[in-house]
Amino acid sequence: PHSLRYNLTVLSWDGSVQSGFLAEVHLDGQPFLRYDRQKCRAKPQGQWAEDVLGNKTWDRETRDLTGNGKDLRMTLAHIKDQKEGLHSLQEIRVCEIHEDNSTRSSQHFYYDGELFLSQNLETEEWTVPQSSRAQTLAMNVRNFLKEDAMKTKTHYHAMHADCLQELRRYLESGVVLRRTVPPMVNVTRSEASEGNITVTCRASSFYPRNIILTWRQDGVSLSHDTQ
């Protein structure tokens, strides 16, 4: 499936919500956008990300991320009984388009790295972990969202639709479908006490995901049972 993933984080210190926020966007699992706090702008991550929109500006993405950051700061401000020190509220929003054209979208909230609330944006069903801390945090946040007139069923439907609209817009550029990112390869060697040597190859950060790795010696592919 193709996916678009938003990752936003806001911070508080001694109960005071900080003005800035952190934001990253991943397209098909690869870094795509980040929010530059110094310039207050959304910036593409790499040339391939720039190619998705060509010579168009990133004003739309900047506006969306800024608005999402503001909403998340307001949510953090309504979490009661914050202890002294540094605390974080993180929101992860994901939408997917599958090969059969079916869609999925969800959002997840984390406080100090602990998941405490999830929502299926299509069915609007909420899920809360069983821990008492998660239950308390979830109730706190949901009560705030209910009080906010914007957080209605129409709002959640729009979140779902907007994410899919952006994903389709990026896919229509064709860059995502054409691009290839070669794998980063790390080879390690270990020797057992009986003298057997094991060589391991790990590949990461490649696209598309379906690749085949082959060991070669003097240009000849080696079988799995090579000694």
Per residue in 114-131, pLDDT tens? 999 999 988 889 999 989
Whole-number average pLDDT of the chain: 84
pLDDT at 210: 66
Check pLDDT > 80 for residue 66.
yes
pLDDT at 212: 78
Tally of CA atoms within 13 A in the half-sphere of 156 that contains its CB: 18
pLDDT confidence band for 171 (50 / 70 / 90)? confident
35 domain residue, yes or no:
yes
pLDDT at 52: 81
61 domain residue, yes or no:
yes
**Distance between CA 16 and CA 147 in Å, rounded?**
21
166 domain residue, yes or no:
yes
Whole-structure pTM value:
0.75
pLDDT confidence band for 105 (50 / 70 / 90)? very high
Q: Are residues 215 and 124 in the same domain?
A: no
pLDDT at 207: 61
Q: Are residues 156 and 195 in the same domain?
A: no
Q: Which value, to the nearest 10 degrees, does the dihedral of the CA atoms of residues 177, 182, 184, 190 take?
A: 120
Q: Are residues 104 and 191 in the same domain?
A: no
Q: Are residues 152 and 171 in the same domain?
A: yes
User: Structurally, how many domains does the chain consist of?
Assistant: 2
Check pLDDT > 70 for residue 202.
yes
pLDDT at 65: 93
Better-predicted residue by pLDDT, 53 or 16? 16
Give yes or no for a contact between 21 and 73, defined as CB atoms under 8 angstroms apart.
yes
Q: Are residues 149 and 215 in the same domain?
A: no
226 domain residue, yes or no:
no
Q: Are residues 136 and 217 in the same domain?
A: no
Check pLDDT > 80 for residue 193.
no
CA proximity to 88, closest of 8, 31, 6:
8
Mean pLDDT value across residues 165-190: 78
Q: Are residues 116 and 135 in the same domain?
A: yes
Q: Are residues 12 and 48 in the same domain?
A: yes
pLDDT at 93: 96
Residue 85: which domain range? 2-177
pLDDT at 96: 96
CATH code at position 155: 3.30.500.10
Better-predicted residue by pLDDT, 100 or 57? 100
DSSP string computed for the chain: -EEEEEEEEEEEETTEEEEEEEEEEEETTEEEEEEETTTTEEEESSHHHHHHHTT--SHHHHHHHHHHHHHHHHHHHT--SPPSSEEEEEEEEEEEE-TTS-EEEEEEEEETTEEEEEEETTTTEEE--SSHHHHHHHHHHHHHHHHSTTSSHHHHHHHHHHHHHHHHHHHHTSHHHH--BPPEEEEEEEE-TTS-EEEEEEEES-BSS------EETTEEPPTT--
What's the distance, Cα to Cα, between the start and end of the chain in Å? 38
pLDDT confidence band for 33 (50 / 70 / 90)? very high
Give yes or no for a contact between 179 and 29, defined as CB atoms under 8 angstroms apart.
no
Q: Are residues 108 and 215 in the same domain?
A: no
Q: Are residues 105 and 143 in the same domain?
A: yes
